[in-house]
Copies of this chain bind each other. A is one copy, B any other.
Amino acid sequence: MQFNPFLKAIKTYESGKDIDLIAKEYGLNEVIKLASNENPYGVSPKAKRAIIDHAHLAYLYPDDTMSELKQALAKRYNILNENIIIGSGSDQIIEYIVHAKLDHSKAYLQCGVSFAMYEIYAKQLGVKVYKTPSLTHDLNELGELYQKHKNEIKVIFLCLPNNPLGECLDANAVFEFLENIDDDCLVAIDGAYNEFAAFKDDKKRIDPKELINKFQNTIYLGTFSKLYGLGGMRVGYGIACKEIIDVFCKLRAPFNVTNLSLKAAVAALNDDEFVQKTLENNFSQMRLYEDFAQKYQIKYIPSYTNFITYFFDKKNSTDLSEKLLKNGIIIRNLQSYGLNAVRISIGTAYENSRFFEEFSKNF
């Protein structure tokens, strides 16, 4: 059977292994997953309550207007419902960006190493990718590449803070950069971890309202998968001017988010206590990872997220990841990004102590 030719170029996404499968495969009693930047404190109690309280309604199709969640987000960001689109994770909003603006005759721009899904969706349509020589976000390099290829580049992805490296640009610098981007180029500010960055340093905070009011060619992406502890529920969102949201709504399939996910997201957004505890613990535990790296003379980039990336000189990241895996610690090997590095999600105090223990033995 013949399929569309662009499918030939696509490699199937291979996800990480499930905790239960790894426990079985290696005969382990305990598996600690520090690989996917989930919230180590679990589901917010309010969100868990919302799921349990609405479980009996799982037979009904979701409210496809999603007005309750939009209203909660609109209130949070002081914007209107019409500025919001809800996706099955912010991944799905990335997909809409690519499908609405790009095709095989166009290109998008990103820094040297950033969130893998940008490229995965782009490749599905044969879109060209421009990446800066620097791995992390360098606005001069991004600006130069943009100016050189502005006829082709119709989307720029800025990941603030950047996954999988952890660095973050200042909001001021980003706003200055945006002054020099043409109106027809859509700039996506991926704020999947922005709450973490803003907590550490308020200069990193991107205010979606200010962003979209100043620059009609921007979209802000947020998610419930990280700080809000709902990675399994698949809820993310895009915030942009009405014109962009209306176009993206044409690409959205009806009922793209489950009804329990919508209820859980509303509850999680209002669980301030859980959010605050997560942020405080994250950065106090992060310091232990920085101290540990210094002790072992491991290079790292100061992180504005809920993970930290260790770069190696002599040790091989693949060997190390595999050794840790056999001892029940899952971390993210960045070899697929062309880096001899690993990304470690900041866990609970206990999980982190287990990481330090096993890492020390195997380093």
Using CB atoms and an 8 Å cutoff, list the residues of chain A in contact with chain B.
1-4, 7, 10-13, 15-21, 33, 36, 38-39, 41-43, 47-48, 51-52, 55-65, 67, 88-89, 91-92, 95, 99-103, 117, 124, 154, 183-184, 186, 216-217, 225, 229-234, 243-244, 246-247, 249-261, 264
Contact = CB atoms under 8 A, between A and B. Distances in A.
Given A1-B216, A258-B234, A38 B61 contact: yes
Given A12-B250, A61-B225, A91-B255, A1 B232 contact: no
Contact of A59 (B55, B154, B229): B229
Contact of A4 (B3, B89, B101): B101
Given A100-B3, A124-B251, A61 B88 contact: no
A232 B18 CA distance: 25
A89 B255 CA distance: 9
B253 A91 contact: yes
A16 to B, nearest CB: 8
Contacts of A101: 3-4
Contacts of A65: 15, 17-18, 21
Nearest to A253: B91
A31 to B, nearest CB: 12
Contacts of A55: 43, 48, 51-52, 55
B48 A232 contact: no
Contact of A253 (B92, B100, B217): B92
A162 to B, nearest CB: 19
Contacts of A256: 88, 234
B43 A59 contact: yes
Contacts of A124: 250-251
Given A15-B65, A18-B65, A51-B55, A231 B60 contact: yes
Q: How many copies does the complex hold?
A: 2
Contacts of A250: 7, 10-12, 124
A13 B66 CA distance: 13
25 contacts: A1-B183, A1-B217, A2-B184, A12-B250, A15-B64, A15-B65, A18-B63, A21-B67, A36-B60, A36-B61, A41-B59, A43-B55, A43-B56, A47-B58, A48-B58, A51-B58, A58-B230, A60-B232, A61-B232, A88-B88, A88-B253, A88-B256, A95-B253, A234-B256, A260-B260
Contacts of A103: 4
A186 B257 CA distance: 28
B58 A254 contact: no
A237 to B, nearest CB: 16
Contacts of A253: 13, 88, 91-92, 95, 117
A216 B10 CA distance: 23
Nearest to A263: B232
B1 A244 contact: yes
A233 B243 CA distance: 30
Contacts of A233: 58, 258-260
Given A1-B244, A51-B51, A15 B60 contact: no
A249 to B, nearest CB: 5
A266 to B, nearest CB: 13
* Chain B CB within 10 A, most for which of A10, A124, A243, A254: A254
